[in-house]
Amino acid sequence: MRLTIVNGFFLPVPPVSGGSTEKSWYHLGQEFAARGHAVTNISRQWRGFSDDEEQNGVRYRRLRGNDHNRELWLNLVDDLVWSWRVYRNLPPADIIIVNAVALPMWLGRFRPKAGKVVVMTGRMPKGQYRRYHHLARVLAPSSFVRDKIVAENPRLAPVIRVTGYPINWRSLSLDGLTQHPQLPHIDASEITLGFVGRIHEEKGLLLLADALRLVSQAPDLPKWRLMLCGPADIARGGSGGAFRGKLSNTLSAFLHSDRFNIIDPQFNERVLAGLYRRINIFCYPSLAEQGETFGVAVAEAMAAGAVPVVSKLECFTDFVRHDANGLVFDHRAPDAPAQLAAALERLIRDAALRQRLADAARQDSRRYDYGVFAEALLADFAELTRR
């Protein structure tokens, strides 16, 4: 098959500047090419990258894009311009996978030779699905997102598939810690609580800080520490330097500086895998009711052997099961910090519980491995082209 992958306007492929969508489709493109398919991957121009090149059987085409904006309407304008630019540069294909908002509105109708249109819902629907009418498939990362899409456009219900999101399970699931100069040294005897993601207020990091204040007051706990990693700058989706400073100051009030680290985002996958493997308890207390679609970082942490502790967002219910492969707390409750603190304290104290949940989490996340995920997509795409 001839497959075209269209990414968004503000990040490059390969994913040298982060982005779960870009990382996922970079690897999936390589998986497709390794199985003999002709793959074109379209993304933003980036310093040091050629505008048109071929690597490992994948053709990369890079077009002019823009940085991410704080304002939604500005991002939508940039997406519209980007979609038109991509539309004018599309090669013929059998399947085109689109990670842009505006492009699917007209692509299937006016450029059928670009391939049957497959939309990956990387972000929460915001009304655009009402304007999508010529789609062969919609890949929803969670049941929650599927329901949102159907609410916007019930006619799409027959073409939606709930797929989750792919991860590099094989790499993440390797045993053992690997020391790396970019990562802090952590004593093997310490229990590490960790978060990987955007340093943004909607991720519930201040709620986490409130919970950890309570944990720090609990008597006779084994030695533990905190490690946060991710971008804080607005251009990469964070809440900015002021929020990062506020978070650091809040933690410093009750945690000694040698007991927590806020690390810059890591884009080297080997370094990132090493960081995940340092984490025993993965804290993801997101408050983004309408923002979270799946939780790639949660699945990656599970593959690396961490126990996930997540808020009660519906997007997590497809793969995090309370007391089976992780713990869930009610972030909407008045005592949310106390609930989160109780979950963390329970895991810090009980090594057998940590091991049981971690083993189950690693096994359950295997279904999202790139190879497994790619095979399922290719089988579906082959069926679409036969139709």
260 within 8 A of 279, measured Cβ to Cβ: no
77-93: average pLDDT: 97
276 within 8 A of 304, measured Cβ to Cβ: yes
239 within 8 A of 70, measured Cβ to Cβ: no
Mean residue pLDDT of the chain comes to 93
pLDDT at site 181: 59
pLDDT band, residue 69 (cuts 50/70/90): confident
Domains of the chain (ranges; CATH) run 2-166+369-386 (3.40.50.2000), 169-367 (3.40.50.2000)
SS3 224: strand
Q: How many whole angstroms separate alpha carbon 383 and alpha carbon 77?
A: 35
What are the backbone angles phi and psi of residue 303, rounded to the nearest 5°?
-60, -35
131 within 8 A of 142, measured Cβ to Cβ: no
pLDDT at site 387: 79
- Asked, as a colleague might, if the bond just before 308 is cis with ω within 30 of 0, I would say no
| Residues constituting the chain | 387
Tens-digit pLDDT profile for residues 334-355: 999 999 999 999 999 999 999 9
For residue 314, pLDDT over 80 is answered with: yes
350 within 8 A of 312, measured Cβ to Cβ: no
For residue 185, pLDDT over 80 is answered with: no
Tens-digit pLDDT profile for residues 96-115: 999 999 999 999 999 999 99
The model's pTM is 0.86
pLDDT at site 176: 57
pLDDT at site 267: 82
What are the backbone angles phi and psi of residue 65, rounded to the nearest 5°?
-130, -160
For residue 356, pLDDT over 60 is answered with: yes
pLDDT band, residue 180 (cuts 50/70/90): low
pLDDT at site 177: 52
The tokens of 339 are what?
Answer: 């609930």
63-85: average pLDDT: 93
Beta-strand relationship, 52-55 and 58-63: antiparallel
Residue 97 CB contacts under 8 Å (≥ 6 apart), including other chains: 3, 4, 5, 6, 25, 118, 119, 120
Residue 328 CB contacts under 8 Å (≥ 6 apart), including other chains: 309, 310, 311, 312, 316, 320, 322
122-132: average pLDDT: 92
Give percent of the chain with pLDDT exceeding 70.
97
* Neighbouring-strand partners of residue 387: none
Give percent of the chain with pLDDT exceeding 90.
83
pLDDT band, residue 71 (cuts 50/70/90): confident
User: How far lies 128's CA from each of 106, 119, 131, 239, 359, in Å?
Assistant: 12, 12, 6, 25, 40
For residue 178, pLDDT over 80 is answered with: no
pLDDT at site 182: 63
Tens-digit pLDDT profile for residues 227-277: 999 999 987 889 999 999 999 999 999 998 888 989 988 888 888 898 999
- The kind and range of the H/E element at 63 are strand 58-63
- How many other C-beta atoms lie within 10 A of the C-beta of residue 239? 20
Tens-digit pLDDT profile for residues 199-237: 999 999 999 999 999 999 999 999 999 999 999 998 788
